[in-house]
Structure formats: structure tokens, C-alpha cells
Amino acid sequence: MPETSRLTPVGVMILATLREGDMHPYEMVRLLKERRDDRLVPLQKGTIYHTVARLERDGLLAEVGVDREGNRPERTTYTLLDAGRHAVEEWVRAELPQIERANDFRVALSESHNLDRDEVIALLDRRRELLLASVEEHRTGLSASAVAETPEQFLVELQRQSALLDAELAWQDSLRARLADRSLPWGIAEIPEHIKKKHRVSKETTP
């Protein structure tokens, strides 16, 4: 199996989609767009098919059939292999606690439901330590600039980043609290059946 660092965010989201059931690339794209995940990864047809082919070569997914409806082109259906399932989990574990690669974190967050509740809480706690250190670093920088009488026009980006970090920390603390008190449903088992049907969710995605 390839190292998880070789997985791209697009590859992670394709594999995670297959955790919900076997499907062909057209269905993958449709489902990802329905969930607005095209904000996070490029969903061009060529990118998806190229990524699926690479994941198949790497032994993370496999072809299970070819369908044809009417005059439409043949569509190959794929299934997720155990190696692909583990690769998703390991990628999320690696990216969820970090604060440096913003887009990878967003993808990891969107797929964090593939891990159980307690593990996500622990990973977010690790990330919180990094956020706190960065918040303190920015506050210290702003204080030093004030003492040095640095013109404020040179500090507007630093001020913006400091405000964003404060907001990020507050948001993450709110998410953690909802996970901890279980007011946020987590995992497919906690989604009501009528919602599963509406969103075509069919498989348990948490360990």
C-alpha cells in the first residue's frame, strides 16, 4: 500500500465516498457536488478519472462491474478495498491536528466522521495546542510592534491573521464541546433513517 502522504485531497475524498457504497466516477462527482465538496477539491472529469485509475493501481479500490444504460457510455463501478479504507483514516489522522496546510485540514475535517468521536476529540485537542501557540505568537508580535511604534498600516495583515486565529479557536472549541456532550450526531449510525435515504448514505463509516 502506498504511503498516506502520497494521497491527494481528491484521492481521499474519492475513497471516502466509496465507503458509502460501490459507485462509478459519475456518481462520485454527483455526490461530492451535492455536498458542496467541490469547494475543497477540483472535480473536473479528467482529474477524477485520472485519480480513480491511480488509486486502482495502488490497490486502494477495485473495479466490480461495468454498466450501460440506453445509449449512454459504459460506466465502470468501483468498490473500496480495506487498504483504501485504512488509507483514508490514516490521512485524516495526520492532517486533522495540523494548522499549516489549510486546505488539507479542511478536507480532513470534512472526512473526520470516518473516525470515531473520541479520536476526533483527541486530534482536535492536539490542534488546539498549536492554535494557542500561534495566537500567543501573533499577540506578542502585535504588542512588540506597538511598543516599537510601528505604523499600523504595516500591521493590518498581522491584525487580520490574529483575528482569524481567535475566531478559529472559538469555533473549534464549540465543535469540541458538541462532540463531547454528544449534541452533534456522529457517524452513520446516528443519522436518522429518512436522512440517510435522502442523501443516499448506506454504509457505516465509523470504526
Instruction: List pLDDT tens digits, range 137-164.
Output: 999 999 999 999 999 999 999 999 999 9
pLDDT exceeds cutoff 50 at 1: no
**Which of 26-40, 54-68, 102-116 has the largest mean confidence?**
102-116
pTM of the model: 0.85
Beta bridge partners of 66: 76
Q: What is the pLDDT of residue 200?
A: 60
Q: How far, in Å, CA of 46 to CA of 16, rounded? A: 19
Average pLDDT, the chain: 89
Question: Which amino acid, one-letter code, is at 151?
Answer: P
pLDDT exceeds cutoff 60 at 3: no
Q: How far is CA 74 from CA 29, 65, 162, in A?
A: 16, 10, 52
pLDDT, mean of residues 168-194: 89
Take residue 68 and report the three cell numbers written for it: 450501460
Sign of the dihedral defined by the CA atoms of residues 199, 116, 14, 69, in that order = negative
Burial of 127 by CB count in 10 Å (0-12 exposed, 13-18 middle, 19+ buried)? Answer: buried
pLDDT exceeds cutoff 80 at 112: yes
